[in-house]
Amino acid sequence: MKLGKQVLTGAALAALLVSPLAAGAADTKGAVSDSWITSKTKIALFADERVKGSEVSVTTTHGTVYLHGKVDSAEAKSAAAEVAKGIEGVQTVKNDLQVVSPAARKAVDANDKDLAKAVESRLSRDSQLKKVDVRTDAGVVTLSGSVPSINASAKASEMARAVPGVKAVKNELALNQ
């Protein structure tokens, strides 16, 4: 983007876009909100040329930023974590990005969709697990949402792990309160 005779880099453009919004970033206690951290992290990742931000999913819970998705290299994965750690209000970063070469991406994406459908199908048969969200990256299934008990959480992990092709299960389920 040209502004006068200067050309803005991706990072400068992101800073320009974020600055006017900073006044609404803090909640009544003065802490930076999770949604604000998520938005700011997404903008920064999109602006960083080392990371293809559109392929990275970002969520934030209590100041912990979770990075999910696929990147082309280990360098892109570490760059994404570095960018997220630099965002104001971030307490920690959980980098669950999968390194998948562009050549293997289509096969992995297709397989992930099939795995997610299979896990969702199994979980939907149990009334306590119908609302569990399922995300799959390179064969790693992540379960999120809330369940009524620790037993239901464990059961969801067991059911997901039993699906052929699942390499691992990350259980991020919270207990209903």
Task: Report how far residue 50's alpha carbon sits from residue 170's, in angstroms, rounded to the nearest whole number.
Answer: 27
d(CA 6, CA 159): 56
Whichever domain contains 166, its CATH number is 3.30.1340
How many domains is the chain partitioned into structurally? 2
pLDDT at 8: 42
Q: Do 69 and 126 share a domain, yes or no?
A: no
pLDDT at 107: 67
pTM of the model: 0.54
- 3-class SS shares of the chain: helix, strand, coil, % to 5: 45, 25, 30
The domain containing residue 158 runs over which residues? 102-175
Residues of the chain with pLDDT under 70: 1-31, 53-54, 107, 110, 177
- Give the pLDDT score at 5: 38
Task: Tell me the residue type at 176.
Answer: N
CB atoms within 10 A of CB 77: 22
The domain boundary, picked from 40, 66, 99, lies at 99
Same domain, 24 and 106: no
